[in-house]
Chains A and B, each alone.
Chain A
Amino acid sequence: MLSRDQIDLIQQEIDGANTPEGSAALRSLMEQNPEAGAMAAELRRVAALFGQVAEREPPARLKRAILDALPQPARASPGALLRWAAQGLRFVTKSMEEPIMTKKALLIGSAAAAVVIVVAGILTGFPPGSRDAGTIGGVQPAARYHGKVMTEADVTLKNPEIQALFQNDQILRLVRSDAFRQVMASDAFRQLQASDAFRQLLASDAFRQLMASDAFRQLQDNDLFRQLQASEAFRQLQANAAFRQLQAQDAFRQMQSSAAMRQLQDNDLFRQLQANDAFRQVLASDAFRQVMENDLYRQVMDNELFRQVMENDLYRQLLANAAFRQLQESDASRQILASDAFRQLQAAEAFRALSQSQALSQAFMREAMRAQM
């Protein structure tokens, strides 16, 4: 029976950690004790087995995912929750771009209208649609909004809101982006643009009211996010203990940086997100629920204009429009909507509330603009 010291001597020899005297003592031991020799031989085989294991290459996407998730030096930190929300929006944006690409032609008027619709859609928090009323609608409804447009004749370039939009650098860069042009050039959008329902929606009082809202004007301001951060409601929300608790959670941090979340942004479906325990933990966490139930948070979320648009008959007609359905029925949309993870998201009360947040929607927009640049 080997003593503890003798076994340690053997182990250290495997690691090359013995002194010359120790190694000599071990050699002597092995000559005198076959058990020591046998153990040394087995341990060497174990060590050799490790040596046979090849180093694995990390997934090629990992580096990009890490670097993409890093805050830019000049970028204001929107806070953990907002970053997460913005990530969601980037996915939404990508999922909408994919099914809609064809031509390059882009009428400036269409672009203007597109901006109006996109902005309105984001500002109003991706409202739930006719088929999924009461659910989150973070992906599907946003896709609807991107499916905007109207004929050039319908575009009121004299409209001060649109003029203001085109004076905004971020909006201009978005409009000039290839992805945005592709969206605008799609057949599905052209059909939608030609629909009576769509034009009527744009002409509706509710929509005009939305365009004239403070929130919309804020959007035209490059300092929007700073304003949001400086708002009393937002400051109170950030100071809320539950909010801080949520941000501090390991599960939340992990979810923010998870590879699954990155893939979600790359429109690689929700399957991996679904398997991400951290994500489920966040949604199920008490801290998250506390944030969602917080009065201040609800105050931030409140949006009267959004409700007006939702209650508008013309909006409902738009949802029933064939071109719009075509967008919804694209492969990308179907894959997303069919995923279990999406259903889980839809079922999450907290996520639904988050998607309807006016303040967060504004932050989404700013992040979306960055994502397009």
Chain B
Amino acid sequence: MKETPLATDEQDRALVERYLENHGAAAGALVDRYQQRLFNVALRMLGNVQDAEDVTQAVFLNAFHRLRTYDPRYKFFSWIYRMTVNESLNMLKRRKPTVPLEDDLDILAPGAASDRAAEAEDRVGRALMGLKPDDRAVVVLRHFVSFSYQEIAEVLEIPVQTVKSRLFTARERLRLAIREGVR
């Protein structure tokens, strides 16, 4: 995900305008532009492919439904990432708290590209699930979307200092968790 360049806001705005002018292809273009990134954010937040798919779809449908009321003063990508994080947090709240992590975690892809990547995905996924959801959101946006502190603050609508505080705390926990996992 971090290799994917951030979509420019101008391009997003142009597509939004075209969609609002009933150009159906614009919807497809927006989905193409964001579905993989949003899906991966949801996946890292939820640790479950099916849930991530549900969240991604819900986010797009909500977004298209609300596009006419979308305030263009805000960046489109901030808006849609915010919805993805919030939708993921909502889904986490709805989950039964009794489900063991091991049974719920679905990060590891069948036939993952390589053993190393699969191992990394497994370790990172499990460590992420050990974080508080709010902290996890910051880590996901930083490390999987490569957002700056400021961009994360805009997406989550929290102060930059809070972003740093959450990120640093979470990363320290990840450091310890991963270190424990190595032993």
Contact = CB atoms under 8 A, between A and B. Distances in A.
Interface of A: 7-8, 11-12, 14-15, 17, 39, 42-43, 45-47, 49-59, 62-63, 65-67, 69-70, 73, 250-251, 253-254, 256-260, 262, 272, 275-278, 281
Q: Is chain B's binding surface mostly helix, strand, loop or mixed? A: helix
Nearest to B23: A73
A62 B53 contact: yes
A253 B61 CA distance: 9
B27 A58 contact: no
A275 B99 CA distance: 13
Contact of B112 (A49, A54, A65, A66): A54
B78 interface: no
Contacts of B50: 259-260, 272, 275
A257 B57 contact: yes
B120 A52 contact: yes
Of A15, A55, A58, A277, the most chain B CB neighbours within 10 A belong to A58
A70 B61 contact: yes
A257 B22 CA distance: 21
Interface in B64-99: 64, 87, 90-91, 94-96
Given A49-B120, A49-B123, A254-B54, 7 more contacts: A11-B167, A43-B171, A52-B120, A55-B36, A62-B57, A70-B61, A256-B61
Given A8-B168, A254-B58, A58 B124 contact: no
Contacts of B171: 11, 14, 43, 46-47
Contact of A259 (B53, B62, B149, B175): B53
Contact count band on B: 35 or more
B35 A58 contact: yes
A42 B54 contact: no
Interface in B137-162: 142-144, 148-149
B6 interface: no
Nearest to B2: A51
Contact of B61 (A12, A57, A69): A69
A-B interface, 10 closest residue pairs, ranked by CB to CB distance from nearest? A52-B120, A58-B39, A50-B143, A259-B53, A73-B22, A257-B61, A11-B168, A257-B58, A55-B1, A258-B54
Of B22, B35, B52, B54, the most chain A CB neighbours within 10 A belong to B54
B36 A58 contact: yes
Contact of B35 (A12, A52, A53, A62): A62
B32 A46 contact: no
A253 B58 contact: yes
Interface in B86-124: 87, 90-91, 94-96, 109, 112-113, 116-117, 120-121, 123-124
A199 B144 CA distance: 64
B27 A259 contact: no
B178 A49 contact: yes
A47 B36 CA distance: 21
B130 interface: no
B36 A254 contact: no
Contacts, number: 134
A66 B35 contact: yes
Contacts of B53: 58-59, 62, 259
A85 B31 CA distance: 25
Contacts of B58: 253-254, 257-258
A260 B51 CA distance: 10
A127 to B, nearest CB: 32
B166 to A, nearest CB: 11
Contact of A258 (B39, B57, B116): B57
A150 to B, nearest CB: 41
A56 B61 contact: no
B45 interface: no
B120 A43 contact: no
Contacts of B22: 73
Given A258-B58, A276-B54, A57 B36 contact: yes
Nearest to A55: B1
B175 A66 contact: no
Contact of B57 (A46, A55, A66): A66
16 contacts: A11-B164, A12-B164, A42-B179, A46-B178, A47-B143, A49-B120, A51-B143, A53-B120, A56-B36, A66-B35, A66-B60, A67-B31, A257-B54, A257-B62, A258-B54, A277-B95
B175 A46 contact: yes
Nearest to B117: A54
B175 to A, nearest CB: 5
B16 interface: no
Nearest to B167: A11
B170 to A, nearest CB: 10
A283 to B, nearest CB: 14
A66 B31 contact: yes
